[in-house]
Amino acid sequence: MPDTGEFHCTSNTGLGWAFGTSRTGSSHRSSNRPCEDAFALWSGSAGAAPCIAIAVADGHGDPRHDRSRTGSALAVQAAIEELVMFHRMHLHEVPQYIIRSEFRADFPRRICRRWREAVSEDAHRCDGGISRDTEPDNSVFSRYGSTLIAAAVMQETILTGQIGDGDLVLVRPDGSVQFPIPADTELLGSETRSLSSRDAHLLWRTATLDRGEGGVLIAATDGISDSFDGSEGPEFVKFIKSLVGRIGQYGVENVAAAMSGWLDHYSALASGDDMTLVFVLVSPAGIINGSGESFGDRIEESSGEF
């Protein structure tokens, strides 16, 4: 898992490039609180089929969720592990519609279970008193509470899922902006669904997309959209479009290098919250050595796998 303050990237020939950074919010810095966001990137191939997996998590970060920094870190790790395992299980002769329907049916249940297993292990390590054979009660999971956004870019398909707040946006090369996952309109203010919620596996919202013409897939914690006018707000959409425009204008390396400073600026001026942003330049399907040229320059090396 990358440290905060650095911008990390990973790539996969044929699919595109992924970048991410996490910044401690200005209000957290002033009160000496750590960044409770986390992200992870992974790229690789199995059976010659490439995959890029990303995950972004936002620990709840109040006294009731005192281990949410660990909770968010475990969440992104569990998400990448589950996405990679899912990819490896669907390598050959599996029609796309099966991949999509199995992701929607299985991923929420499996990722929640994997996260709780990781939390149980950590609680056992920290507290000692909890037997490995007994499931911790819900209050233990609540201490690790976190949101999670996960996505996998595969050869034909982009799989996405989300529990809790945060934003997942896909900007297609024609400039159209899609929010593939429906907004959760029932909750008010800073309330959010969580991996530690009762029935967490039922609270996931998932969507599957054609890789098609590719585009820029962006996953971000709510600290960013809250600095504008919230999820799907016109100002936030303007920010997303300007980000994609800058990639095209200045190249991915320059945008990646500047991103941490921009996020610090927004945090100081607006939400004060931790901010994490991951974006994937998704190459059009069918491009063998694609690298998102329509949006930016090519980067020769990858780094920063979790």
Partner 1 sequence: MPLMLGQRVRAEISGMELEVIKKLGEGTQGEVYLVEGPDGYQAVKWYKPEQATTEQRSAILYLVRTGPPFGAAGKRFIWPRDLVTRTGSPQFGYLMNRIDTRQFAELGECWAHLKAVPNFSALCEISYQLANSYRALHLSGHCYRDISAGNLMFDPATGDVLICDNDNVGVNRQSRSQVWGTMEYMAPEIIRGEKDPSTQTDLHSLAVLLFYLWIWHHPFHGAREYRFHCWDIPAKKSVYGESPVFIFDPDDTSNALPRDPDYETANERWEYCPQALKEMFIRAFSDGVRDPDRRVTEGEWQTLFSSLKDSIVACPKCRAENFLNGNGKNGKCWHCQERLVSPPVILIRRPGTETRLALSLGTTIRRRHIASSSPQDDGSEIIGTVVAHPTIAGAAGIRNNSGMVWQCTFPDNSIAIVPPGRAVPLNPGTEIRIEGATLTITAPQD
The closest alpha carbon to 223, from 266, 255, 265, belongs to 266
Q: Which C-beta is closer to partner 1: that of 134 or that of 289? A: 134
Count of residues near partner 1 by CB under 8 A:
37
The answer to whether residue 172 forms part of the interface with partner 1 (CB under 8 A) is no
* 138 three-state secondary structure: helix
Minimum gap (Å) between residue 28 Cβ and partner 1 = 29
Q: Are 163 and 148 in contact (CB under 8 A)?
A: yes
The answer to whether residue 96 forms part of the interface with partner 1 (CB under 8 A) is yes
The answer to whether residue 194 forms part of the interface with partner 1 (CB under 8 A) is no
The answer to whether residue 98 forms part of the interface with partner 1 (CB under 8 A) is yes
- Kindly report the backbone phi and psi dihedral angles of residue 217, in degrees, each rounded to the nearest multiple of 5, phi listed first: -100, 125
- Specify which residues 7 forms β-bridges with: 21
How far is 285 from 156, CA to CA, in rounded Å? 6
Q: Which of residues 58-87 bind partner 1 (CB under 8 A)?
A: 85
- Kindly report the backbone phi and psi dihedral angles of residue 220, in degrees, each rounded to the nearest multiple of 5, phi listed first: -145, 150
How far is 52 from 104, CA to CA, in rounded Å? 18
Q: Which residues contact 41 (CB under 8 A, 6 or more apart)?
A: 8, 9, 10, 18, 19, 20, 52, 53, 54, 80, 278, 304, 305, 306
List 30, 34, 64, 109, residue binding partner 1 (CB under 8 A):
109
Q: Give the H or E element holding residue 114.
A: helix 96-127
List 8, 100, 143, 246, residue binding partner 1 (CB under 8 A):
100
Q: Which of residues 116-135 bind partner 1 (CB under 8 A)?
A: 116, 135
Minimum gap (Å) between residue 101 Cβ and partner 1 = 5
Minimum gap (Å) between residue 198 Cβ and partner 1 = 7
Q: Which C-beta is closer to partner 1: that of 217 or that of 259? A: 217
Q: Which C-beta is closer to partner 1: that of 55 or that of 209? A: 209
Minimum gap (Å) between residue 237 Cβ and partner 1 = 17
How far is 257 from 219, CA to CA, in rounded Å? 18
Q: Are 241 and 218 in contact (CB under 8 A)?
A: no
Q: Interface with partner 1 by CB under 8 A: which residues?
A: 85, 89, 95-98, 100-102, 104-106, 109-110, 112-113, 116, 135, 138, 141, 182, 184-186, 193, 198-199, 201-206, 208-210, 212
